[in-house]
Amino acid sequence: MRLLSPLAHIGRAVLGLLAATGRVTLFAIDGVSHIVRPPFYGREFLAALLNIGWLSLPVVGLTAFFTGGALALQIYAGGARFSAEAVVPQIVAIGMVRELGPVLVGLMIAARVTSSIAAEIATMKVTEQIDALVTLSTHPMKYLTAPRVLAALLVVPVLVGVGDIIGIYGGFIVGTQQLGFNSATYLKNTADFLEIADIASSLIKGCAFGGIAAIMGCYFGMQSGRGAQGVGQATKASVQAAAVLILAANFILTSVFFTT
């Protein structure tokens, strides 16, 4: 029996993971289905747009700018070993648009927005505001989840596009001011190297990552335990789950778009 005990622990962990996956999947389907069914709470939607989109611009912009600059330095230093310094504009562009831009924006949204949504909804649950919504015949999924998920699906791809541009600009500044590249040549190489498929994949990733971030925040907020400790645990769990799922989704989407 002692020899079987580790297997039993593994089995329970696997079953728990599968059960949690099922609960999250059903929650996501329910939340998305409420987007297309009336009533629609415009004020909640606009507030979510402001919180997820406009207020996230500073952190997204700074993260993308410094990442693009650092990427240019790294590519130049690595390329110098093989006399391939000229590829800096091309690699910065494809690196930011295909991978770093969407992933970094997704992780920043998970850190800033997912935690905020989870803490807000968990606090509402602790203070029995969600119960009050039900008493007033207002569906919590319709009022709390659907506007946030819709806002994230719409605005995070825009943030990803802005992050891609700012990241490429950061590489451009470093390349022209520090590494000695000609401005016109740098921009031409960047424009010639990028393809429509690269940009489309970046925006689709942004849509997927935004949906994941919003759904995880709403799910863990709704599942929060009572008290301040429950709010803290829900917030922590939501960010962890969103970050892991964003990275996993990035791998899957990259495999779909770019595997030949």
Q: So what's the pLDDT on residue 65?
A: 93
Q: So what's the pLDDT on residue 249?
A: 94
Among the listed residues 45, 255, 36, 63, the one whose alpha carbon sits nearest the alpha carbon of residue 148: 45
Q: What is the largest CA-CA distance in the chain?
A: 72
Q: So what's the pLDDT on residue 212?
A: 93
Q: So what's the pLDDT on residue 3?
A: 60
Name the token pair of 76: 């130049």
Ranges of residues in the chain whose predicted pLDDT is under 70: 1-4, 260
Q: So what's the pLDDT on residue 178?
A: 85
Q: Please give the backbone phi and psi of residue 3, each rounded to the nearest 5 degrees, phi first.
A: -65, -30
Residue length of the chain: 260
Q: So what's the pLDDT on residue 2?
A: 63
Q: So what's the pLDDT on residue 170?
A: 92
Q: So what's the pLDDT on residue 4?
A: 62
Q: So what's the pLDDT on residue 201?
A: 92
Q: So what's the pLDDT on residue 260?
A: 59
Cα atoms in the Cβ-side hemisphere of radius 13 Å centred on 91: 18
In terms of C-beta density within 10 A (0-12 exposed, 13-18 middle, 19 or more buried), how is residue 204 classed? middle
Q: CA 202, CA 157: separation in Å to the nearest integer?
A: 8
Give the CA-trace dihedral at 257, 244, 213, 232, to 10 degrees. Answer: 180
Q: Which residues contact 75 (CB under 8 A, 6 or more apart)?
A: 87, 88, 91, 92, 95
Look up the pTM and report it.
0.89
Q: So what's the pLDDT on residue 163?
A: 93
